[in-house]
Structure 1
Amino acid sequence: MHLSTKKLHLFGLIFLFFIGTVQIIFAQNDSSQREVSRIQDTLNSETVTPKDGNETKETSSEGEAVPNLHQVIREQFINGDWRFMTPVLLCLILGLLIAIERIVHLNLATSNVEQTLTNLRGDLQSGGVNQALHRLQQQRSSVAMIFRQSLEKWEDGIEVVEKAIVSYGSVEMGKLEKGLVWISLFISIAPMLGFMGTVIGMINAFDAIEAAGDISPTLVASGIKTALLTTVAGLIVAIILQLFYNYCVAKIDSLVNDMERASIAFVDILVDLKNEGTEAP
């Protein structure tokens, strides 16, 4: 319950940050347009026209103002129409939030399997089951969780321990894969939202042509630009989230292999100790 409360607070902070970002973008819309106009005026003032009437050439000075990445992204977000770009941005923020939480959880679930098995064998031989359980309770890895839950069934026999390993192993696998379906959902939704903006932008362009009764590049440029920007934004979000998703899947596969290998070695250790006559205190 305590962990769920922390997640709710984190989601609330991210949502407030998202709302604040959108408000800042629209608050700075006018200033960004003035900045673009100033840059265009600067470029026009630096255009040199020879006296003989030849074609003009543009020159640039070292102090020329060049928009930075933040300004470019903000301008493209505004040009793409906030009604379509905002849902795409929301998919990116939520997808990254879940992906980062999964990466942290998966790294905490990782452990040195060989060292864990060595410590387990030593604890069982020297202090018995209680000492081994005490050490395992101090670890947060998936392997340690399986060992601890299974070792509590030691008194019921090796067969019961083996069944417990299979059961608790499935539970741990479910915990590792938790949240990946939401990342996959945002990967699918983001391009769809971009394509929806594309379709609506093209519809607006054709409506403008129909209203004007003529085809003019300047008349349809706005709708086409909106369509292209929303598509690009959706694809970029999908690519970014796909990278995080593939990393999580690869990490889970590695952890599952470690869990299977450690479980086999764990049963072998228990069988050896039983044959040697080691009993639970």
Structure 2
Amino acid sequence: MEESTDFQYNLMSLFADGGMMMYALVLCSLIALGVIIAKAWTLWVAHRDTDRILAEVQELTEKGRIDDAIRVAAGTPGPAAAILLAGLRRIRQGEVRAGEIEQAVSTIGTIELGFLERGLVILATIANVAPLMGFLGTVAGMILAFGSIELAGDVNPTLVAGGIKVALLTTATGLLIAIPVNLGYNFFVSRIDKLIIDMEQGTQQILNLAWDMEQAGTLVITGVAVPRGPSSMPRPDATSASEPVSPIGPDADDSQLYDGAGD
């Protein structure tokens, strides 16, 4: 019990000796810990049922049970299930535009990827900033230590060693925070890469299903997918941009435009 009390006292003493920068470093560590716990849970849930959902949807679609496959995908969390759900809902319509299925799964994939990567910027920032904050605390501590030596007027080895020890505390703390945060960041990136492969498998499964149904005549693909956005809007030609166009028509004369204007 006494050893535990001494250990706690030593930690508090070291924390106090580190100066104001220790508060910022502790705050960074708490934020990083919260993000790591939340991200670990999110990625575990996202990957938990991926293999099962891919196999089950494949089995149901091979039997032509599209509605059952949609219910299974809707009841399963994860990016692969979301992609399967988006594709199956459009396939169930029986008639889609060319490229509509690809556009739907691509949009869902982008949204899911953004959700999976949420929080990684925070971890990367803390992993990079924590050592710099530690170095800043060390520099500030060294400045104070040399200031104390200057005031003492004598180079006392004990005074110099004590000042350097206190100054290096923030550097050690910053590195202790940055190393596990960096490891966690790299681990999460590798897990997200695995989930991207799962999403690609789901996309390929949907495209294969659409191809098989089209060949069997149960899915009709018509026309060409019209791109959305400003690029799909008609552009006026040079003539219409420089000359006003009659609201009645190009063959209308002045009498049609101004009929009754003088009454």
Does the TM-score normalized on the shorter chain lie above 0.5?
A: yes
CA contact (8 A) 1:133 1:151 kept: yes
Q: Does 1:76 align with 2:17?
A: no
Give the alignment of 1:1-281 within 5 angstroms: 65=3, 70-81=8-19, 83-126=20-63, 128-154=65-91, 155-157=95-97, 159-278=99-218
Give me the TM-score of the superposition, normalised by structure 2.
0.74
Q: Distance in 2 between matches of 1:172 and 1:238?
A: 28
Letter in 1 for 2:173: A
Question: For the structure 1 residues 66 and 174, does the alpha-carbon distance in structure 2 shift closer, same or farther, using more than 3 Å as the test?
Answer: closer
Query: Which residue is 2:257 aligned to?
Result: none
Structure 2, unmatched stretches of 5+, are 221-263
Q: Distance in 1 between matches of 2:172 and 2:158?
A: 21
CA contact (8 A) 1:117 1:266 kept: no
Question: For the structure 1 residues 64 and 104, does the alpha-carbon distance in structure 2 shift closer, same or farther, using more than 3 Å as the test?
Answer: closer
Q: Distance in 2 between matches of 1:168 and 1:195?
A: 43
CA contact (8 A) 2:50 2:81 kept: no
CA contact (8 A) 1:123 1:129 kept: yes
Q: Distance in 2 between matches of 1:92 and 1:64?
A: 28
> How many residues align structurally?
217
CA contact (8 A) 2:47 2:78 kept: yes
CA contact (8 A) 1:209 1:220 kept: yes
CA contact (8 A) 1:79 1:226 kept: yes
Question: For the structure 1 residues 198 and 239, does the alpha-carbon distance in structure 2 shift closer, same or farther, using more than 3 Å as the test?
Answer: same
| Larger RCO (CA within 8 A; separation ≥ 6) | 2
Give CA deviations for 1:142-186 in whole Å, capped at 9, x if unaligned: 100111122222231563112211221111111111110011111
SS state at 2:47 partner: coil
SS state at 1:214 partner: coil
- 1:111 Cα deviation (Å)? 4.2
Give me the TM-score of the superposition, normalised by structure 1.
0.70
Give the structure with the higher percent helix: 1
SS state at 1:156 partner: strand
CA contact (8 A) 1:98 1:179 kept: yes
Q: CA RMSD in A?
A: 2.4
- 1:80 Cα deviation (Å)? 1.9
Q: Distance in 2 between matches of 1:279 and 1:135?
A: 21
Larger Rg: 2
Question: For the structure 1 residues 133 and 186, does the alpha-carbon distance in structure 2 shift closer, same or farther, using more than 3 Å as the test?
Answer: same
- 1:220 Cα deviation (Å)? 2.7
Give CA deviations for 1:223-242 in whole Å, capped at 9, x if unaligned: 21221111100011000111
Using the aligned pairs only, state the percent identity: 34
Structure 1, unmatched stretches of 5+, are 1-62
